[in-house]
Amino acid sequence: MTTVTQTHLPQTTEPRNDGIDLDMDWVMSVQANTSAIERRAATLPGRRSVKKDYQAAWLARAITCIDLTTLSGDDTPGRVRRLCAKARQPVRADILKQLGLPHIQTGAVCVYHDMIATAVEALDGSGIPVAAVSTGFPAGLSPFHLRVAEIEESVKAGAAEIDIVISRRHVLTGNWQALYDEMRTFRAACGDAHVKAILATGELGTLRNVARASLICMMAGADFIKTSTGKESVNATLPVSLTMIRAIRAYHQRTGLRVGYKPAGGISKAKDALTYLALMKDELGNRWLEPDLFRFGASSLLGDIERQLEHHLTGAYSAAHRHPIG
């Protein structure tokens, strides 16, 4: 029997990021060397290669960091319940047994507001949090008071995590005070629920804008910064991820506070998950390989990881329908 390193879901002991006062000198000093970032990102897929039992262990860790997501207009209670069942048991029991792994589960289930109650009921007793997208997701262009009210309603409905979208126009026009004030208001509306700030990086124009927006959102109290809604034409990329991760590192060095990172959109292959995990380890260290500080926003990634784990055991790739998501 193959045995790999055990993966678990830790209880975070990290102090929450309450934010700091807006420091415009720090914000305006932030630059991004695009060519250097792109060169570094291009080397990432080949820099870390894990094989055999080590790869299986890393993939098991990746599963615990997935926000298993359904954000479709045709979502139904039945679909959400099936997704929650998959979150509870993301890998077939026979595969886990042969790998010598304990029970694992995903980091969260992410849904629209209308499906929060269904997800909370389906996940009762599992310890898996429900995340809800909010603030006029994905465009973030609804009236401001309605965006704040949407957060409050989602928290009231039982969401433990809120994925908000920022107003891209504040970044594109350099109105950093407005972005800070918006994020502070969203953070306050979340109360005890953790807030992930979606930057929609594919619509911010430059990596410098990405870096500055990342820093502003952390100053305003974001618990996580997240690349994308998954609805843009360009979602998570390695250059964007490297830029945001370096901002997280700078914020931690300055304040001592750890902020999480969530790449989302377009991450559907197990090999991509390994690259992102290696990037987090290289840039931020092992502490950021835990689900309280790192998440994948994904709907199809889990299926490919499960196929890779079965291939590790059997040497053959099974059909995708043997690993249904929901």
Catalytic residue among 223, 226, 272, 304: 226
d(CA 216, CA 203): 17
Catalytic residue among 163, 223, 292, 304: 163
- Does the structure show a pLDDT above 70 at 8? no
Among 73-77, 140-144, 186-190, 298-302, which stretch is predicted with the lowest mean pLDDT?
298-302
So what's the pLDDT on residue 5? 39
Catalytic residue among 86, 196, 223, 262: 262
Rounded to the nearest integer, the mean pLDDT of the chain is 92
- Does the structure show a pLDDT above 80 at 324? no
Residue 7 binned pLDDT confidence (cut-offs 50, 70, 90): very low
Residue 325 binned pLDDT confidence (cut-offs 50, 70, 90): low
**Cβ atoms within 10 A of the Cβ of 45, count?**
15
So what's the pLDDT on residue 254? 97
Reported as a single tens digit per residue, the pLDDT across 43-72 is: 988 776 788 889 999 999 999 999 999 999
Judge whether 226 counts as a catalytic residue: yes
So what's the pLDDT on residue 105? 96
Residue 323 binned pLDDT confidence (cut-offs 50, 70, 90): low
Q: What is the CATH number of domain 24-316?
A: 3.20.20.70
Closest CA relative to residue 211, chosen from 9, 34, 16: 34
Instruction: Spell out the SS3 assignment of the chain.
Output: CCCCCCCCCCCCCCCCCCCCCCCHHHHHHCCCCHHHHHHHHHHHHHHCCCCHHHHHHHHHHHHHCEEEECCCCCCCHHHHHHHHHHHHCCCCHHHHHHHCCCCCCCCEEEECHHHHHHHHHHCCCCCCCEEEECCCCCCCCCCHHHHHHHHHHHHHHCCCEEEEECCHHHHHCCCHHHHHHHHHHHHHHHCCCEEEEECCHHHCCCHHHHHHHHHHHHHCCCCEEECCCCCCCCCCCHHHHHHHHHHHHHHHHHHCCCCEEECECCCCCHHHHHHHHHHHHHHHCHHHHCCCCECEEECCHHHHHHHHHHHHHHCCCCCHHHCCCC
Reported as a single tens digit per residue, the pLDDT across 145-185 is: 999 999 999 999 999 999 999 999 999 999 999 999 999 99
